[in-house]
Structure 1
């Protein structure tokens, strides 16, 4: 067994800062969405992804990839949204095994209500804390991480 490439001081500082900041922001986002909109963060992201589609619909498998969750995790969240009348499901016209999730009018309205508070929180806890140069560096760096992880099986 070969010795791992241990993190140096700068690498460890970057890792610790990433973990702590991402956990703190995620916790605040989750709390704000629950209190102000009655949604979990994954549920909010599902509504956002569906709203971004021209017809407000997406195959469940693609939605799971975009929201970065398992198929079973997505099914659970969509079921909760469906019970609340915010999302509907239907069979795919071209694939008997495929299922399409679609945003309802009530889902669009819930998103319209939730988005201002969510954006305000994201801005106050992340965007406005950083300079434009820091935002560019973070976007580029985390974009590279995302691309590398999505390319690996």
Structure 2
């Protein structure tokens, strides 16, 4: 659910279909449908018909979903700080972030 909220909340007003979510999260159509069903029941997201393609359904975060996302990001940041940043010496942290940047760039290039 956190990954779905990240995807939906990272660019406000972006239209994201269930199919795009499934592709982004490497889920099957039925897998994303079940996940979005649970998130909708929890009040985190809503489904709306696509204005451009009536066969497509868009998924939007609700106000509650945004609130939950912001709380989850705060907790996630604390966990990352505690286990991945704090234990490292400054030089090691610089090497880690540099290496992660290189990996990210390689993944983007593909």
- Off by >6 Å, runs of 4+ in structure 1: none
SS at match of 2:19: helix
Match of 2:77 in 1: 119
Give 1:2-151 correspondences, 5 Å limit.
43-55=1-13, 57-128=15-86, 129=88, 130-145=92-107, 147-148=109-110
Separation (CA, whole Å) in 1 of partners of 2:108 and 2:85:
19
Q: Which runs of 5+ in 2 are unaligned?
A: none
CA change 1:57–1:85 in 2 (3 A) is farther
Task: Give the number of equivalent residue pairs.
Answer: 106
Separation (CA, whole Å) in 1 of partners of 2:31 and 2:101:
27
Deviates more, 1:67-76 or 1:102-111: 67-76
Q: Which runs of 5+ in 1 are unaligned?
A: 1-42, 149-153
Larger Rg over CA atoms: 1
TM-score normalised by L of structure 2: 0.79
